[in-house]
Chains A and B, each alone.
Chain A
Amino acid sequence: MVAIYHYDDADRTLVRERVAQFRDQVDRRLSGALTEEEFRPLRLMNGLYLQLHAYMLRVAIPYGTVSADQMRVLAAIARRYDRDYGHFTTRQNIQFNWIKLEETPDLLHDLAQVDMHAIQTSGNVIRNVTADHYAGAAADELDDSRIYAEIIRQWSTLHPEFSFLPRKFKIAVTASATDRAALKVHDIGVRLHERDGAPGFEVMVGGGQGRTPMIAKTIRDFLPEHDLLSYLEAILRVYNRQGRRDNKYKARIKILVHDLGAAAFAAKVEAEWAEIKDGPLGLPEAEVARIRHHFQPPAFRDLDAPNSLHVAKARIDPAFARWLRINTHAHKQPGYAIVDVSLKPVGGIPGDATADQMDALADIAAQYSFDEIRVTHTQNLVLPHVEEGALHAVWQALGRHGLATPNVGLASDIISCPGMDYCSLATARSIPIAQAISTRLADLDAQEDLGVLGIKISGCINACGHHHVGHIGILGLEKNGQEYYQLTLGGDPGADASLGEVIGKSFSAGGIVDAVEKITVAYRALRTPGEAFIDAYRRLGPAPFKETLYAAA
């Protein structure tokens, strides 16, 4: 059985009743019984936006885990209700861009057949809980972070007290020293670690991007497992009461934490928590065990002797060898590997996948990865549990569907929001810039030489493309009717998170591609042996890069 949270009757009833409720709401809107002002909050509660060209539906993929069967339904939805493709997002969700309001209830009905929905993918609520995309597979993890992400998901779903927060609220969870979930740019980041052999959580609050980017502050070093929900409830209560509702640009919890100061905010949380910590939100061990049971490791084969087939194949096939180096990662189970599936072909649209590709992924996952697929916040996919002996076959199968680009973590693995090609909030296009940069930097040898390099592009100040934490960040703006692109350097989303610094005056659409290339050339010249881009930037500061970009101007 695939390691995913399996709905019980109560879960299914809730989702199906929600579909019926929304069907009635849509009927009433189309009949005129509801005005747009009345209907808009209802559709947003079901993930349905009105974007630049059409309605857009955002479907929740809790902590990025999706089964092969669910992926097949997403493919079928892309074919039936959209234009044969979908867009995987930085919140581990999928968006469909060309949805008709009148068909949305049927679409949600189809989703519900595989225990999926779009609840809380919009609105001022606790959004889809995200987690380490290697959870349950990574060699370096302490535990499967999805267990706690699922507990938080259940607590936060339709939570009556937190259905009208001052602003949207995002929680991410990891259980590893390596932060693969960008914890420090979330409203709350929860990191499982151990103290004296007992598990507990570091709780970080007040991170975020948008127009006022901030790094989260740790307000608890070690929270016992039992207290997870009561402590989160205390944080949300303080925010719900004291977060600003008079100005949407100052309404996120990061502003509250910043204005009060982390220590004062923590004191308020502790005071609130003291009132509720011994109440019904305590996590019983039996309940944790019940959730844990859903995430039992799959039936791995006992592979005592390492399978060297892939090593032998790599010796005679450099393309396969490169993919092995770049797109596979160490698994906790001997004889298995984690496979990164790039959705960043050279010149492609970051995060887009066709219906055929989704079906192909489902088939490959069913054959080689215990039916499991993950969505990453970097807009790629993951096959979490692949036998090493099957890696060559998986590489070939992925390659047949354009899914084996060996660039995960490299310069052409660009995060990009939809930008002004799709989004009604955008001030500039971002996808064409991503396409142009990935084409300019396409040479794979050169990319490997550059090493880990996160280029992230947002088409407006809301920063859905995570540009603030890009090693190279790009923000698209409009000035006098023209698109301009502001460059930031030195951001990083990891455990040692930092926000990028604006490097100087902005560039035209053509100029930004040249600028990025110049930055890579300067980095090559300035780095010490083995020094990653972010480390070189932190050592050198912006001056040499500014000089490269602007000296001759």
Chain B
Amino acid sequence: MTTQVVSANRLDNGRVVYLAPSGQWIGALSEAEVAHDATAAESLLHRAATAIIDRLIVGPYLISVTAATGRPQAERLREQIRATGPTVAPAHHDRAA
């Protein structure tokens, strides 16, 4: 199986978060806890279910990552964009006509 981390959105503000080894839900994918097998992935989801009950997060799911550098990076573009934000700069105040 691929290596995975669990991601979700915070309930209160909707921001993208990942479960860290500390048990905290953090914004940095690179600091997320990595599951290397199915049992570990199941454990991540189980802890996420607890976080739902605690009203911290919504919609947790596993995402595939590569961890070649020791820090997880999302495999799919969609998850890369979730991790780092839109690839386009929002409207600027100083647009020229």
Measured CB to CB, the residues of A under 8 A from B are: 29-32, 36, 50-55, 83-85, 99-102, 345, 348-349, 352-354, 356-357, 398-399, 401-405, 420-422, 426, 429, 431-432, 435, 478, 481, 483
Contacts and interface: CB of A to CB of B under 8 A. Distances in A.
**Number of chain B interface residues as a range:** 20 to 34
Contact of B95 (A348, A420, A426): A348
A479 B15 CA distance: 27
Contacts of B96: 345, 402
B90 A352 contact: yes
Nearest to A345: B95
A481 B76 contact: yes
A432 B59 CA distance: 28
Contacts of A30: 11-12, 55
Contact of B14 (A55, A83, A357): A55
B17 to A, nearest CB: 11
A83 B86 CA distance: 13
Contact of B97 (A32, A53, A83, A403): A403
A510 to B, nearest CB: 15
Contacts of B15: 53-54
A372 B76 CA distance: 45
Interface of B: 9, 11-16, 52-53, 55, 58-59, 75-78, 81-82, 85-88, 90-97
Contact of A345 (B14, B81, B86, B97): B97
Contacts of A421: 81, 86-88
Given A36-B58, A52-B81, A420-B81, A349 B88 contact: yes
Contacts of B16: 52-53
Given A53-B85, A101-B11, A357-B91, A420 B78 contact: yes
Given A50-B14, A101-B13, A481 B77 contact: yes
Considering the complex of A and B, which 7 residue pairs feature the smallest CB-CB distances, nearest first?
A402-B95, A421-B86, A352-B91, A54-B14, A55-B14, A100-B13, A404-B97
B55 A32 contact: yes
B97 to A, nearest CB: 4
